[in-house]
Chain A
Amino acid sequence: MIPAAFDYYRPTDMAGVLALLQQHGDDARVMAGGHSLIPMMKLRMAEVPHLIDLQDVAGLDQISLSAEEITLGAMVTQHTIINHPDLVQAAPILREAALQIADPQVRYMGTIGGNVANGDPGNDMPGLMQCLDAKLTLVGPEGERQVAARDYYEAAYMTDRADDEVLVAITMPVPQGGFAYEKQKRKIGDYATAAAAVQIGKADGKVATASVAMTNLSDVPVWSEAANAALVGTECAPEAVKAAVAAMLGDIDPSEDNRGPVAFKRHVAGVVLTRAINRAWSRA
């Protein structure tokens, strides 16, 4: 568990980061908290001859809140997400999810940007960002562009981000209604056997809006339009929840691993989603 040799850079501004990325191309990578990247380097599954640490880049750890919108800098840590009072009030689902990630030590270092950019199907934030309809702001040599979290993930570790682009911020509408982040894992610090992010808006006793996404049940996060549609307009009674679960089960594609065989994962996915929907509805 000793990484191959690498050069370490600590630029203080974005221009410096981009220059290094341009100079070294494929051989360079940015590092945020390092808690996904460094283990991969130690296992020699990732070779990064030029490692660019983002810690000193000014302005990446900002949080801004308005009545409509939340913007999180890419370097905002999971610890900050859990402990930022205004953010917790505006989007309690962020805290509920972040508390399910790893352990306090990892959360002190791990960032939302790293979690979202990484493309690991096990990461919890991507599914949540799809649930919340977040937009990712990427900066590259050609300037800045935005991409929806729902369009960002292509396959495991494959995303819409080009190698020379850096994720700088994540923007999302302030979530409305009831919420739940439900996750089953084997132990503290484990990735999900199945996890569900649910946000439900209520009007006149009925589901007005629903957004449902699941994690680690496919090689990308699964935001299920069919599941959302099954809930909207209903009173979120057991049949509606069942229909939403059935829709989601049609969209996921889990594979067998140490967490269990496919049949188990599909069953647990259904249970976890049912619980998340019910909890979100009860809070709506």
Chain B
Amino acid sequence: MNDLTPNREERTANLKGMGCARKRVEDARFTQGQGNYVDDVKLPGMLHGDFVRSPYAHARVKSINKEAALALPGVVAVLTAEDLAPLNLHWMPTLAGDKQMVLADGKVLFQGQEVAFVVANDRYIAADAVELVEVDYEELPVITDPFEALQSDVVLREDLAGQTEGAHGPRKHHNHIFTWEQGDEAATNQVMDSAEVVAEESMYYHRTHPCPLETCGSVASMDKVNGKLTLWGTFQAPHVVRTVAALLSGIEEHNIRVISPDIGGGFGNKVGVYPGYICSIVASIVTGKPVKWVEDRMENLMSTAFARDYWMKGKISATKEGKITGLHCHVTADHGGFDACADPTKFPAGFMNICTGSYDIPVAYLGVDGVYTNKAPGGVSYRCSFRVTEAVYFIERMIEVLAIELDMDAAELRRINFIKKEQFPYTAALGWEYDSGDYHTAWDKALKTVDYEGLRAEQAERVEAFKRGETRKLMGVGLSFFTEIVGAGPVKNCDILGMGMFDSCEIRIHPTGSAIARLGTISQGQGHATTFAQILASEIGISADSITIEEGDTDTAPYGLGTYGSRSTPVAGAATALAGRKIRAKAQMIAAYLLEVHDDDVEFDVDRFVVKGAPERFSTMKDIAYAAYNQAIPGLEPGLEAVSYYDPPNMTYPFGAYVCVMDIDVDTGVPEIRRFYALDDCGTRINPMIIEGQVHGGLTEALAVALGQEIAYDDLGNVKTGTLMDFFLPTAWEVPNYETDFTVTPSPHHPIGAKGVGESPHVGGVPCFSNAVQDAFRAFGLRHTNMPHDHWRIWQTANKLGLHD
């Protein structure tokens, strides 16, 4: 060894392993326009599909006349439900145990519903032909309100007539889907009845949409000669899509190859199966040519999976000192025309039962009623684990309302009710076992950093100045403390269409000491190629720069359940670490052979194995990789590969403390975000820079939802916010500077202690922005007002409080 020999620290740095703010390896490609998205897939002879969609929210389809469309030169086919029926593909199963029309079968249930699929030689002809398909509709009464739906004689789902039993138990009414109950209602009511203080509030979490920049689409290519179907698509779960495609089409699964190429954002929107995917497959089978379908922005907003739309009624009880004693929550969930929620099978309202939040609440009850209306189906987890955004918004609003009821500071109320560090693992009243947490430390750090007391003093002064007529701006201090539940999930209770929610990683080490690892997940912008290589680098001592990460091709990647609900790092990340450890175990034997010592006499040291007590005798991972392929090692197979399938023992529970300071112009309703502080604890931090990027993105989508982003309908079921002019997608201009911070509480059951972070900022951010708006008006008597807090609604709040008089 000499001065040029890298020391241990330098060797560690060279690995670019865990904890390193490594630049995203994906970005060179994306920033130079070299991504490969579904719409970039162009095959010889490829045809193009486009949908005829219903202009009505509820109507009978009396007839469809294709003649004029078929007569247009370049049109190859026009598919309707009648054409799909012989294949039994005019309906498809949903992830929620319901079924959904692929093409209108006798009636339509929401505006934008797929009625016919036109296939043509090019995209333009397809669009022209759509106009030529004549559909005769008979309008039916429209129901856009779930409460009205439960009273109405109008039967939305005639196909379910007489079915009193649904996928999740009894149906109470022909427009009712399910009732899901958790916790102990009698015990909760009892606590409420004798409580010193009870606060009640009803809140509506409006319908919104994940709106990924890339819309949904697919290219199906049926090769009739060898019987193989290749399907490129915007799939957050490509392996599940393959299984579903096999089950629906009857094509054997080995003859189906599903490829998720680069995906331009998903946020839950690309978890489900859409009619366009099915139609492109059928059209390719029928025509024998590749068929592409890519929806446009309006179609995406109008017809693909929405998020939220929860009417939540809450009751929270406490002692006079503010110790919470019980929580009651009832949700009326608007699922639209079909129940296509994307949740694990046994959780029809997702993990809404995490609604006790970060607080030690002894008894609780949650009831959820799912209802059909004339709106688009969906109900996906938009940048959150299943319905966690709704749960956290609910509890973080209930805390604020309780603070008002108690005339208490909301930060203090949170502090005295947090689950204490020593209580973990903590079993909540609604059943979840929180793996770890240190909420008080995070909270104190957050409040201290923002000078919470100073902010409150300033706010009090502002209120006085406002009352004296010296200012027209009020100041709001938004607080939120959230606990997410991510990493679905243990196979014993989590499955999607029967597939357990494990995930996987397969590693091959090449002879010259570089590697490829394939995972069952699929990045949609999360930076998997960067971070998973870092996990592996630390585990196997090969630089992250020498590791290729590949996902999304079902012919090459091991089976996995995909990427959503912040599950990639908790599940596939664990599989990666464990597969890495298998590699290391074999590498240890090879090293011992090369160093001519017993297996137990070598130990792993960053990028090599060294002889214990004699570090100058070592074998690097490069040497070991080569030896695996060129030496006959007694008792060992050649090669260096490993695969691991990981069934998580529990979810992981990231948490965080957020503070937002906002100034609100009461005359224009314009909010100005002065400061946003976000402390996230996602356990072990793999790449701080990627975490920061995820936090910025999640907060921005939180800002969007809280301050204006909605899918609004008029009484006739027309979508009022169908373009980006009206559907609020913030730009850099609307986004404040975010201050990020962290604490580290590793998950005790995860191989590397990581918890998942992509969705935390959204989950915690929405209530924080909303609370800031609402807090600004607290001094003037506001208890609660619904999101989205766009200008006119804020103005209306001020107006109702008499602030314009």
Contacts and interface: CB of A to CB of B under 8 A. Distances in A.
B728 A267 contact: no
A2 B796 contact: no
Interface stretch (A87-95, A183-191, A212-220): A183-191
A260 interface: yes
B127 A2 contact: yes
A243 interface: no
B795 A267 contact: yes
B791 interface: yes
B296 A1 contact: yes
A264 B668 CA distance: 8
Contact of A188 (B128, B731, B792): B731
Interface string A181-217: 0001011111101000000000000000000000000
A283 interface: no
A132 to B, nearest CB: 25
Contacts of B733: 187-188
A121 B564 CA distance: 43
A188 B734 CA distance: 7
What bracket does the count of chain A residues touching chain B fall in? 20 to 34
Interface in B666-703: 667-670
Nearest to A187: B734
Interface string A1-44: 11011000000000000000000000000000000000000001
A256 B187 CA distance: 48
Contacts of B720: 258
B725 interface: yes
Interface in B115-146: 123-124, 127-128, 131
Given A264-B796, A271-B667, A186 B127 contact: no
A103 B725 CA distance: 13
B298 interface: yes
A4 B791 contact: no
A268 B793 CA distance: 13
A190 B799 CA distance: 24
A193 to B, nearest CB: 7
Nearest to B732: A188
Interface in A158-182: none
A261 interface: yes
Contact of B298 (A1, A258, A260): A1
Given A190-B725, A258-B720, A264 B731 contact: no
Interface in B286-315: 296-298
Interface in A238-279: 258-261, 263-264, 267-268, 271-272
B333 to A, nearest CB: 25
A189 B712 CA distance: 20
Nearest to B704: A187
Contacts of A268: 667-669, 791, 795
Interface in B701-722: 708, 712, 720-721
B730 interface: yes
A184 B128 contact: no
Contacts of B728: 186-187
Interface in B266-291: none
A241 to B, nearest CB: 14
B790 interface: yes
A207 B539 CA distance: 77
Contact of A264 (B128, B712, B725, B795): B795
Contacts of B804: 267
Nearest to A103: B731
Given A187-B731, A260-B795, A267 B667 contact: yes
Interface string B93-132: 0000000000000000000000000000001100110010
B192 to A, nearest CB: 37
A242 B669 CA distance: 20
Contacts, number: 65
B409 interface: no
A209 B734 CA distance: 37
Nearest to B123: A2
B461 interface: no
B328 to A, nearest CB: 34
A258 B726 contact: yes
B731 to A, nearest CB: 5
B124 A5 contact: yes
B731 A259 contact: no
A264 B792 contact: yes
A187 B671 CA distance: 12
- Which of A2, A44, A190, A193 has its CB near the most chain B CB atoms (within 10 A)? A2
A193 B734 contact: no
B712 A258 contact: yes
A239 B670 CA distance: 25
B726 A271 contact: no
Nearest to A263: B799
Contacts of A184: 668, 670, 791
Given A184-B670, A186-B728, A267-B667, A259 B734 contact: no
B420 to A, nearest CB: 43
Nearest to B720: A258
B792 A260 contact: yes
B692 to A, nearest CB: 24
Interface in B784-805: 790-792, 795-796, 799, 804
B668 to A, nearest CB: 6
A178 to B, nearest CB: 22
A272 B670 CA distance: 12
B668 A1 contact: no
B535 to A, nearest CB: 38
Contacts of B791: 184, 186, 193, 259-260, 264, 268
Given A186-B791, A187-B731, A268-B795, A5 B128 contact: yes
Contacts of B667: 267-268, 271
Nearest to A265: B792
A258 B796 CA distance: 14
Contacts of A263: 799
A186 B124 CA distance: 34
Nearest to A42: B296
A222 B603 CA distance: 82
Contacts of A186: 708, 728, 790-791
Contacts of A188: 731, 733-734
B266 to A, nearest CB: 21
A202 to B, nearest CB: 26
A136 B297 CA distance: 37
Contacts of A258: 712, 720-721, 726
A110 to B, nearest CB: 15
A5 to B, nearest CB: 7
B50 to A, nearest CB: 8
B158 to A, nearest CB: 32
B124 A2 contact: yes
Contacts of B127: 2
9 contacts: A5-B128, A103-B731, A187-B734, A189-B725, A258-B712, A264-B791, A268-B668, A268-B669, A272-B668
Interface of B: 123-124, 127-128, 131, 296-298, 667-670, 708, 712, 720-721, 725-726, 728, 730-731, 733-734, 790-792, 795-796, 799, 804
Closest 7 CB pairs of A and B: A260-B792, A2-B127, A188-B733, A1-B296, A264-B792, A271-B667, A258-B726
Given A189-B731, A258-B726, A264-B799, 15 more contacts: A2-B127, A4-B128, A184-B791, A189-B725, A191-B725, A193-B791, A258-B712, A260-B791, A260-B792, A264-B669, A267-B795, A267-B804, A268-B668, A268-B795, A271-B668
